[in-house]
Amino acid sequence: MSEIGRNPAGMPAPNAVESECQRMGLSRDDAAYLIDHWRSNGFRVGRNKVKDWRAVLRTWKTNKWFPSQKTAKDTSKKTDWSKFKVKNDGRNLF
């Protein structure tokens, strides 16, 4: 039997993870991300095997570790230099 596509022992079926993510208001991409993460590390959290995968979902959602919860840094904010006053005493600042 090929190793490709096999789930580690104890890992839930992908459709179960997907339906639980949807129930929690997460996207299908988040479910796929978590499944890929579990497949890559052998269904573990740190060095320990996962005991309750639904608890992992709740923890990841609470801590905003899913890709859909991460926000891009807002680069549109620029410093309004007019608020700052520079005291010019005649010396060169640079």
Closest to 6 (Cα-Cα) out of 45, 46, 35: 35
- Inform me whether the pLDDT recorded for 76 exceeds 50: yes
Tell me what pLDDT residue 73 has: 60
Give the residue with greater pLDDT, 80 vs 18: 18
Tens digits of per-residue pLDDT, 13-46? 999 999 999 999 999 999 999 999 999 999 998 8
Residue that has been written with the tokens 């959290």 in this structure: 45
Q: pTM (2 decimals)?
A: 0.66
Tokens of 74: 């807002």
Residue that has been written with the tokens 């096999």 in this structure: 6
Using CA of residue 35, residue 41, residue 42, residue 48, what is the dihedral sign? negative
Closest to 60 (Cα-Cα) out of 8, 15, 20: 20
> What are the distances in angstroms from CA 65 to CA 32, 40, 56?
14, 17, 11
